[in-house]
Amino acid sequence: MVSVIIPNYNYARFLDERIESILNQSFQDFELILLDDASTDDSKVIFRHYEHSSHITHICINSVNSGSPFVQWEKGFQLATGKYIWIAESDDLSDPLFLEKMVALMERDEGISVCFSGSILIDDNGQALVQDEDLWGKNKSKNNDGYAIFGGIDYIKHNLYWKNYIYNASAVLFRKDCLSGMMNSSCFKMRFCGD
User: Distance (Å, rounded) from C-alpha 138 to C-alpha 120?
Assistant: 18
Q: What is the pLDDT of residue 175?
A: 94
CATH number of the domain that residue 51 is part of: 3.90.550.10
Position with higher pLDDT, 154 vs 21? 21
Tell me the average pLDDT of the chain. 85
Total domains in the chain come to 1
- Is residue 165 domain-resident? no
Output the pLDDT for position 139: 53
What is the distance between the alpha carbons of residues 75 and 135, in angstroms, rounded to a whole number? 33
Say if 61 falls within a structural domain.
Answer: yes
Query: Do the domain assignments include residue 98?
Result: yes
Residue 105 phi, psi dihedral angles, 5° rounding: -65, -45
The answer to whether the CB of 152 falls within 8 A of the CB of 113 is: yes
Residue 44 burial (C-beta neighbours within 10 Å; 0-12, 13-18, 19+): middle
Q: Which of 4-8, 28-32, 38-42, 68-72 has the lowest mean pLDDT?
A: 68-72
What gap in Å lies between CA 64 and CA 13, rounded to an integer? 21
pLDDT exceeds 80 at position 195: no
Of 108, 100, 79, 107, residue with least CA distance to 28: 100
What would the mean pLDDT of 26-34 be, rounded to a whole number?
A: 98
Q: What is the mean pLDDT of residues 13-30?
A: 97
* Residue 146, domain member (yes or no): no
In a domain, 50, yes or no: yes
What digits encode the pLDDT tens for the residues 131-176?
Answer: 666 555 545 555 556 677 777 788 777 777 777 777 788 999 999 9
Could you tell me the residue range of the domain that residue 42 belongs to? 2-117+170-189
Whole-angstrom Cα distance, residue 32 to residue 52?
12
